[in-house]
Amino acid sequence: MQAIKKVLITGGSGQLGTAIKSIVHTVNDSIQFKFTDSDDLDITNYESVWDFLNQKNFDYCINCAAYTHVDKAGDDSDLALLINEEGVKNLAQACHKTETVLLHISTDFVFDGQQNVPYLETDRANPVSIYGHSKFKGEQQIVRNMERYFIIRTSWLYSAYGHNFFKSMLKYGAERNQLSVVFDQVGTPTSAHDLAAVLIKMISKGVKDYGIYHYSNEGVASWYDFASAIFEINDISVNLRPIRSKEYPLPAERPAYSVMDKSKIKKVLGLDIPHWTSSLVEVSNVFKKERE
């Protein structure tokens, strides 16, 4: 009889946690999930984290809990670091002591965007924002405090749930006749639904090749390209204008180029990653069903 794997999900009410929750019915009974949010488990409190993990005997923890307000992080740097660094340190230390494998979600924002070829896991991190800095600090805490971990960097995450670029464009497209979106920031939109499936696959396969991984959908796009595809797929008519980042200044700097190389995760998991436009169609269909 196959042993049951017990999996803790932190940040379970966020968009990735919700995406995982939406597909657990497709997973066989050999994996059991426990979803928590900050009301159930405050990762910034070490004693709470230790007590929770020590009592429940989890095999895996997927950390979806994070401070994700890129532009507010400059003013809220203490809070961003408390959650993204200190909270992650607490999880790493408690997971290490309880022999729980940690799957931690990080970001393309740990890079400065100065390259013009896809970033490898071994490329030097050099974040240009407080948000990116806080996420990289969290990565460092994991590396320092434990050995059995997966750090999965992803980019431009969106889904049918929570707050994200996809849902913002649908909202603005319904309200306005004209929109301006930057075209000089390039990366890869990533479906949280696809990432959720990959995380579960890592657990179900019992992968032991611990370390840092990159995962996004295939292909490359600017934010303008992404917005244009959202409107086309969802039959929304908007006069969409491409602009440079300097025409739409934001408090936090973004990497100009944050495409990531996914060769490592494709090899380890035998993945055939869908193109971002195909996944956008799938997410749009899920969003429509959610509203019916």
CA 196 to chain centre: 9
**Cα–Cα–Cα angle for 220, 223, 227, nearest 5°?**
105
The one catalytic residue in 60, 131, 161, 224 is 131
CB atoms within 10 A of CB 95: 26
| CA–CA distance, 170 with 110 (Å, rounded to integer) | 28
Q: Is 204 helix (H, G, I), strand (E, B) or coil?
A: helix
Please name every residue paired with 260 in a beta bridge, in sequence order, or none if there are none. 119
C-alpha distance from residue 86 to each of 49, 82, 91, 138, 241 (Å): 12, 5, 9, 7, 41
Long-range pairs for 72-75: beta carbons < 8 A, 24 or more residues apart? 72/251, 73/129, 73/130, 73/131, 73/134, 73/252, 74/129, 74/130, 74/251, 74/252, 75/251
Active site residue 60: no
- Pairing outcome for strands 211-214 and 157-158: unpaired
Please name every residue paired with 187 in a beta bridge, in sequence order, or none if there are none. 221
| CA–CA distance, 273 with 233 (Å, rounded to integer) | 20
Under DSSP, the state recorded for 2 is: P
The catalytic residue positions are 131
